[in-house]
Each structure stands twice: as C-alpha cells, then as structure tokens.
Structure 1
C-alpha cells in the first residue's frame, strides 16, 4: 500500500465530496423541478459552462484510455486530438440552434425535440433508448479509470473485496448527485480542471527532463512499439490511414450527440455562451495532445504492464514523489467522477421525461418527475458496472467507441433535424434500427474492437464501424423517405417553426 499517495488522494477526494453536497445550496433553487435538478435552471454562464463541458468531455478517457492506446498501439491513439479539433466548429454552428428551440419549447432532452419535430413518440423513444444505452459504456470507462489509479496505490483484491473501494467511491458520487443534481459536477469541475492543469504542467516538464528529452522518448517508443502484438509504431502505416481518419471523424460527429454533452449545452444561459465555449474549448485539445504523449513516456520509462490502462498511473509512481502521485491520481479520479455524474443525470433526464412521463405516469407532478430522475441516476451507475464486468477492458477506449457506434445512429434525426424535417419519421426509425443492428454486429464480430474490416471483392477496407453503420442508416432513411412519400404516407405535423431555431430569451 502506498500510504503517502493514498492519504493525499483521500484528502482531495473528501474535498470534492464536500463540494458536491454543498452544491445543493449554490444558486439555491427548487430541486424538485427537473429543469433545476437536471439542467441547473439553464443559468450557467460562459465560465461555468466552460468548466462543465470540459469536465464532461475530458474524462478518464483522456487520462487513462488515450495514453493506454498510445502505449499499446502507438500513433493510432492520436486520433483523439484531431477529432476534438473537428468538433468545435460544428458546435459553434449547430448547437445554438438546438439551444434556441429547446429554450423556446422548454425541452429538457433531445428526445423532447425529436417528438415535436417529427410528431413521433416511437422515434423519440428510439433516441431515448440509444442515449441511455450509449451512456452506459461511457460511465463504465470512468470506472475503469478509477480502478487503474486505485490499483496503482496498492488497493487490490480478488472478487467482491477488490471492488469495495470502487463501490464506495461511486456510492458517494451517487449521493451527492442525488442531492445536488447538475450543480454538483458543475462546482467540482472547477477543482478537477485546476488539478489536471497542475498535473499536466508537471508531467510535461519533469518527465521529459528525467527521461532525457522528447527525442529519447520518441526513439524509445519507435524501438519498442513494433515488438508489440499486434505491432504498433510512432508513425501510421498505410493500412492505418482509414481507421485513423474514420475514428477521428466518427468520434467528432458522435461527441455532441451524447446525452451528457447535450445536457451541458441545454444548461447554458444563452446561445452566445455556447458560441464562446466553442471558441474556448479547443484549449483542452492542446492539453489532450500532451496527455496522449504520456503513453510514449511510459514506454521510454521502461513501464512494462500487460494492462495498458495502468501505464499512466505506473508512470506517475515512477517519475513523481509519492505525495504528488496521490495528487495526480486524485485528479484522474475526480476527472472520472465529474463526467460520470453528468452522464448519469443526462440518462436519468431521458428516462424520466421520455419514458416515465410519456408512457408510465403522464400526470406526474414536477416533484414526482424530479424524484424519479434522482432514483434513475442511481440505477444507471449500477448498470454501468455490468459493462466492465462482462466486456473486455484491456483497452478502455473501446468502451467509448462502442457507445459512439450507437449514438451516431441518432445523427440523421437530431442534427439533420435541426435544419430540415424532410426525412419521413418512419424512414428515420427504420434507418436507425438498421444502423444499430449493423453497427452492433460489426463491433461484436471484432470482439468489441470498433474497427471493422469491410471486404469488397479482393480489397479490405478497415474503418470505424460507426461510420459504416451511419452510411447504411442514411441510405435506408433516404430510400424509405422517397418510398413513403410516393405512397402518400402521413409524415406527421412539425410542432416547431423556423424562427424557433434562432430564438433568444427575452431576458438576454
């Protein structure tokens, strides 16, 4: 047991726990309304939204999964940097439209918008189901990140005993999420980001100095990666061009379809807040590029582990004093808890608003609706445990990519729907179903590796399965729209109007 690291870790974990419970009193409001509990009253300004989205999007995926992929496979793992660059211009253009129509009509979830846009409860239910399903492996990825740092400090064990510390951490998370709603991760995200900045600055200065500079780091990675099975490299081989490009593109298109990302958008106080954040958030992409290189640094430092997810924690233990390792581990753990909280809230919003209120208890009071969301936020965290129990987690990043395959199938209805209602509601539903089935099949066929080799004659084109499934989805949706229109099948009444997409709150 590494007691100095563990003591520092517990101190900062206790600090954010106190902040999580305090958040219920921050900007005090009636948390018995879902709008307040699940969206913070839609009152977050530029600074809070920046920290919230940063805490939401840059997670254990960033500190554990990306460097693990770099450590195991090399340059392919760097796809995460261009994808976070691609997405923000799209956010700048697209997401203010979503905020406007949601503010105008009081939508709390994206499925609320889908229901009114296409006059289709079935399509809204499909989007709800997809959002909840895609969120589960993403929360599970945060669990994997927590496991990695706990094991590095010597907290290990077999069976249930070994899971007790993780269960305690997530029980605490569940309690302050239940109590404070979205305000808890919004407050904690500020502390989390400051801790991560300190850790990254220390890592990018101290570790290269100890290892003899970046030249030696890249040379060591170039010598070791080709010996891995399968072999990797510091440069992409031609066969990796298509996987790299499609992973970047698919991940970019998927990122702001996730319920937790959309929750961050809808909690903003104005369209302008979203635009400012789209301009400011690329600062995190710079940090991500540095963090990704920790995988190469682990190779150069002689870290030898069969579990790539442990590469960064073991690197920190070797390069830093124990007390600072504890600080860095706390930053990683909090970086897992913040997005896990937002994800569970977002999934709870979806279930409560679009299943419970829509189908189970249409006459529910605001308090009943809010309480149901609180209960569901607890259940979602438990559900995420099943993903790390039953799915392989050697490369935790595959959990995020699996969620990406599913959530990307909502793009035709959601993103295209913000600009046109040309697609027929039934065609979108059929396209979604075919896309979900084909994408899941491709992932399962590859042992939950999200890159699928498509055989066309004698050629093999390997690419992110989400892109293949999305293409199938679009083709099916277009063909069925034309067919249904030709047969005069009723498409439903659009309850939104063009001016709703540029709406600004009267108070702004």
Structure 2
C-alpha cells in the first residue's frame, strides 16, 4: 500500500506540474490545452501514444481473456501488429491537412473535406459514444486494484467507493489544469513501470512455478476440463470453428484502433509529419510487451488463481496473481503500473471527447462565434462531465455490462473509418452516401450486438455473430463496416446522377503532404478560425 500510494502521489504532483511544462505563451487556445501545443517530439509522442493505446484495461482484460478461453484471447497481439502498417499510410496525411487548416478533431477534418455539418456531428457523437465506456473501464481497472489491496469494498456505497472517488477527483483536477500535457508527462512513469513489471513477471513468476513447461501443462489441463457451462473450458490452440472469428476480430480491431478520438489526439499533438511516421515504425515495440502480457493469463492458471472459486471474475486474475506471487513491495509497484495505466488513457480520452464536443457540437451549433478562450473553458468543463458520466457508468451498472458495452466501442468507432480514411485519399464519395452508410453500419452493428446473450447478460453478450451470406461467425464491427462501405459506394453514383449537392471541399492536394516548416503550415489558422 505504501509503495502504491507513493507512486500515485508522484504522478499527482507531476500532473499538476505539467501545466508549467512547455508552457504556452497563451494557454487560452484549444490547441494548447487539448493538443499540448502541437509540438511534441518523437519520444514524447511515443510515450503518449503508448500510454494512450495500452491501458489498464489492456493490462487486465487481455490476460483475463487468455485465462478464461486460452488461444482466442491472443487476438489482441496480431491486431496491434497489423494496425501500424495500415495507419502508417494515412496518419501522416491526417497530420498534414490538420496542421494546415488548424483541425483539432477528426470531425473537423470531415467537416472541411465534405462540407457537411451532419456528417461531422455524426463522427463527433460516435467518437464520444465509443469513448465513454472506455473511460469507465479505466476506472474499473483502478477499482480492481483497490479491491485487491483491500481498500473499500465494504460498508455503504459511499465508503465502499470513496477511494475511487479520490482517484477520480485527482484525475479530473490535473486534467482540467494542465490538459494534454499532464498525461503526456505522466506517460513516462506509466510506461516505465509497465515494462519493468512485465519483464519481471514473465521471468520471476515462471521460475517460481517450475518453468514454462509446467505453466503450459497446467493451462492445458484447465482447458481440457469441462467449462462452467458445459463443453471445453478453452484451448491452447485455436480450433477451426473459431479461426474466422479470430481473424475478423483481429482485422476489425486493427482498423478501429486509430479511429478512436484519443489516438487521433495523440497523433495531432505531434510536432511534425516525420514524428508521426517514426512513431508508427517504433510503436510495435509495445506489441512485444502485449504478447508477454497475454502470457500472464497462463501464469495465473498455473498459480491456481481463482481455482475452485465458483463464478470467479477473470478480470481479477492479474491483480490476484501479482498479490499472490510477488513480495509485497513489488506488488505495490505492479499495482501502481495498473493504476497509473488507467489514469493516463482516461485523461487523454476525456480530453479527446471534450475536444469533439467543443469543436463539433458547441461551436458548430450553439456558439459559432465562440472565442478561443471560451472554447478552452467549455472543453475543460466538458472533460469533467465526461469523467462524471464514466464514473456513474462504473458505479451504477454491473461490471460485466460495462465490459460488454466496451466491446461496442470498437464496433461504433469503426463506422467512422469510411468517411475519415477515404477522405484522406479521395473525394469520390458523396457526403450523403457516407452519412447513409454510417447510419446503416451503426444500426446493424448495434442491433446485432443487442441480440447476443451470454451466461452473464441477456444483451450485448459478445462481439461476434453469423456473417450474412457466408455462414461463418465473424466480428460484428467488421461486418457492419463492410455494409457501411457498400452503402456509401452504391449511393454515391446514384446521388451524383440526381445532382445532389456535393458540399464544398476546403482542402487541396498539397495540404496532405505538408510538413512542419512549410509555408502552408506556418500560416495555418488558429483552431478557433477554422471550420
């Protein structure tokens, strides 16, 4: 507990001091509070994106999935490997055009590219919707650590959740004060802790358990035994029936990863196009860590975590593994890695959602003449409201429901990919066709996910269903994305034949290859002056 509190105090102080780090001449601009001044270099961006993408939920949920089902839980490893070559193709273009025109959010780009307020607000609201349960699950990660530490968990609801309230309050305070600079600075501590804990865990714990041969043998025995609901409890190797699901889930998740507003925020905070490209080349180092992280699920099985406990929550497998196998002082270090691993992405996510609301809802529809200072003030308040909503989500809803709702996050955010990614390369799609495709993808995906039951819940009980026309079970988000793309492709020539208004494109080809120092970048408008 002492070690955990020490690290928590350290990052709290760093969070508040971050407002003085790279201090802006005029902080009353959204690109200063919400994008850290757009001048982060390669290493700051690397730590920021790493802290943004690899969250407490990743630390807890990936090994939890491996603990529960075995091989199928490793889908997160190939999807992060696939993602970086894909986004290497389009993220530098997004950085360039956003820098030239002062765009702060992906919805800003959609507004400028297609001249469509409707499509822009659809992208913005989808981003906020997909981010909310993701923030909630960072708080779930903190709560899992606090419960394992024995803090809270008993008494009335206020006493039980008081430590979570305190963590939430600290997070809200330094995010409000320092904006994106706070998680960018704290990410150095978070990522260092994660690397240390993972390396120690995958070396030290197997030595105590008799080596990896014993670990895999224990996992094989567990998965060979009948599961709690009949049938095998999992598998060390993925069988043929699950391969299509595995492949579509990995590919769909890879497409969705950099559609999330918080990942785009980290990219747009970079100081140059080259910084973005270098980060896409070196960020796969985190995929190695993720592969090692997934092995913790097998280590928890071999250590007997949860054995014989009816209805054991696999999300607690890693915290309990650490508490059981490490000396108490290093358990504090490991729990700090999970806790801080929740604070960093939660801060970035709330900032990204606040940017979307401020730029693409408040300024677009409520106060078109808002000053830069007013935009920044509204964004700060919106970030607090987003965190309050996420906290309410955690306190009111069943944790299993929260986890299942998070599965919808990837499904929803993937429906913005057609408008965003296609727009970076071509203006062929009609704006109304893109809006119709988005609506079809959202409706199909949400309705299909609603109809999936599991032993824990009647609705939103999974992320895969039969693909229409194929007879195979696949990731719902990818099926919805294909429908989205098909509708947009079919309706575009129809709308052109009907001479439907196209909307004005405020970008030109040279904008997509602009680099820091170019004349177009140097004379870029302030965000408050851009659409």
Equivalent-residue separation in structure 2 for 1:192 and 1:45 (angstroms): 18
Equivalent-residue separation in structure 2 for 1:134 and 1:482 (angstroms): 31
Deviations 1:471-500 (A, max 9, x none): 111111112112111211111121111111
| Secondary structure, counterpart of 2:472 in structure 1 | strand
**Partner residue of 1:471?**
482
**Partner residue of 2:283?**
281
Deviations 1:11-59 (A, max 9, x none): 1101000000000000111321101000011000000000000000000
The reply on whether 1:499 has 2:516 as its aligned counterpart is no
Which aligned pairs between 1:61-460 and structure 2 lie closer than 5 A? 61-155=57-151, 156-157=153-154, 159-226=157-224, 227-229=226-228, 231-304=233-306, 306-389=312-395, 392-394=398-400, 398-446=404-452, 447-454=459-466, 460=471
8 Å contact kept, 1:65–1:397: no
Say which is worse superposed, 159-168 or 319-328, in terms of deviation. 159-168
8 Å contact kept, 1:309–1:396: no
The reply on whether 1:28 has 2:23 as its aligned counterpart is yes
What TM-score, normalized by structure 2, do the two folds share?
A: 0.92
| Secondary structure, counterpart of 1:415 in structure 2 | helix
| Secondary structure, counterpart of 2:77 in structure 1 | helix
CA deviation after TM superposition for structure 1 residue 392, in Å? 4.7
Change (3 A) 1:466 1:285: same
CA deviation after TM superposition for structure 1 residue 455, in Å? 6.7
Say which is worse superposed, 384-393 or 277-286, in terms of deviation. 384-393
Say which is worse superposed, 376-385 or 42-51, in terms of deviation. 376-385
**Partner residue of 2:501?**
490
CA deviation after TM superposition for structure 1 residue 394, in Å? 3.6
Equivalent-residue separation in structure 2 for 1:85 and 1:267 (angstroms): 23
**Partner residue of 1:38?**
34
Change (3 A) 1:399 1:240: same
Note the residue ranges of structure 1 that are not aligned, 5 or more in a row: 1-5
Equivalent-residue separation in structure 2 for 1:391 and 1:440 (angstroms): 19
8 Å contact kept, 1:53–1:261: yes
CA deviation after TM superposition for structure 1 residue 91, in Å? 2.0
Equivalent-residue separation in structure 1 for 2:368 and 2:390 (angstroms): 28
Equivalent-residue separation in structure 2 for 1:137 and 1:425 (angstroms): 29
Equivalent-residue separation in structure 2 for 1:324 and 1:253 (angstroms): 37
Change (3 A) 1:125 1:455: closer
Across the aligned residues of Structure 1 and Structure 2, the Cα RMSD in angstroms comes to 1.6
Change (3 A) 1:272 1:420: same
CA deviation after TM superposition for structure 1 residue 460, in Å? 4.1
**Partner residue of 2:7?**
12
Note the residue ranges of structure 2 that are not aligned, 5 or more in a row: 453-458, 522-531
8 Å contact kept, 1:308–1:394: no
Equivalent-residue separation in structure 2 for 1:201 and 1:356 (angstroms): 46
What TM-score, normalized by structure 1, do the two folds share?
A: 0.96
8 Å contact kept, 2:407–2:463: no
| Secondary structure, counterpart of 1:83 in structure 2 | helix
| Secondary structure, counterpart of 2:460 in structure 1 | coil
Deviations 1:262-314 (A, max 9, x none): 00000001110011111110100000000111011101100115111100000
Equivalent-residue separation in structure 2 for 1:229 and 1:290 (angstroms): 27
Say which is worse superposed, 443-452 or 322-331, in terms of deviation. 443-452
Equivalent-residue separation in structure 1 for 2:328 and 2:464 (angstroms): 42
